Structure 1
């Protein structure tokens, strides 16, 4: 049962989520990078350079077991999740930038995710009998990622009304799929999770808060507009946990490796919501500060 879920269920689940992403994308979303290069470059530097470095530091600081350490690095290397669009909409971020960043970071992850994960496997050596990621399987996983996205984009291009009608149902299915996948990962490796629950919860919460904070503050320091900084923060703080879980279980054959992503996948929604309220209240306070009286 568990084996069939891993080999058949997880790729199908990821395919559904990627199809949903494709339904929200157009070719123009990739082209929009040229019209707002500063915001995109700032977000990508945070996601591809700062986040893996911060995660590596946290893993060393918390002294995680090797398997969970690699799982955290796999999570850090995964691109932004599609739910970032929803949070960006709730807290008045630039949704168009979210869509662009999701598209671009997902494409770049084809290269960076295997590189970062292989580095982590080489450094922490969690497997006695395995030499890193199996590249053929990596290609298979990204075929599962890219083909549904391409199909979704084609549907959006040629059947836009159908794509609009399907957007909400596919999003709902995606959330249900994430819940089922997380529950499966937790149930399959309950002992490892129970032994490291406190440590794992603490490092994932810390990493999520830092991801959201970096994603917001770095663009603001670079004078990127506030709505774009909000979009960037959610794009960087809300990872594609399902992708990390699928790679951990199907490519590397380790449910334990997917536990950090499973825990993060649950906690990130609550933390992101709290973060959104925080930056919204700060903005409201700034907007309502009374002007000095004229003399």
Structure 2
């Protein structure tokens, strides 16, 4: 029987060229809708908001150019000044406490303690809740007629007072309490991951040289975590600037507007008071605050890589 040698069929050049082009374009085609939505719904609306902030828009958008009038009104608005002051108090206290607490918890868990997984889960649990749930829960806890004050008085301490929630001078600090409880576990996880990524030989060498454990952490380990510190500052500052749901659920900006923050100010003037131009100007000021923190950080990171 004669054996017939069969030659496998090969694709023609035009077919191969079409397949190659399709393979090159397929990822772009798949990503195109997402990119389009991102460009339009994020960057497009940022530019739209910036344009509205330069008009005299009220209940409906207006295209009459008004220059920086809305920004001048914003700086003369007592509620805006109060919200910026509150943001400074809330943001600085929140960032400082949550980073210090996160570092402390991470160092505690880094000692190879028993039941580390369970304890880490307990610390991280608040991050599973939304700020609406957190604000509502702490509203009950801090309510003088329902929470801590009532519980302590029922124990017999009738003179005890903890009325920060209804005290205009202290209400902003209740936001700090709730936000720290919500976010400290997340910051702890960031630093714990950083600690676990440090080469153990560095620590062993320091121990051989006679360095104490506190000295090792403060002089060797923590300086190595500078990128984690920067990331924690960026994330927590972003949370502080855009805080809206926590304020709405916990204090609603009250009493009066003593615990108001820029995000709540922007919402109130844009959607409930018919001052779209003023609300857009406040939104752009919030964006400027975020960029003032983010741009120097990105510049320093890119400069170091170069």
- Tell me the TM-score normalized by structure 1: 0.29
Q: TM-score, normalised by structure 2?
A: 0.28
Bigger RCO (CA 8 Å, 6+ sep): 1
- Tell me which structure has the larger Cα radius of gyration: 2
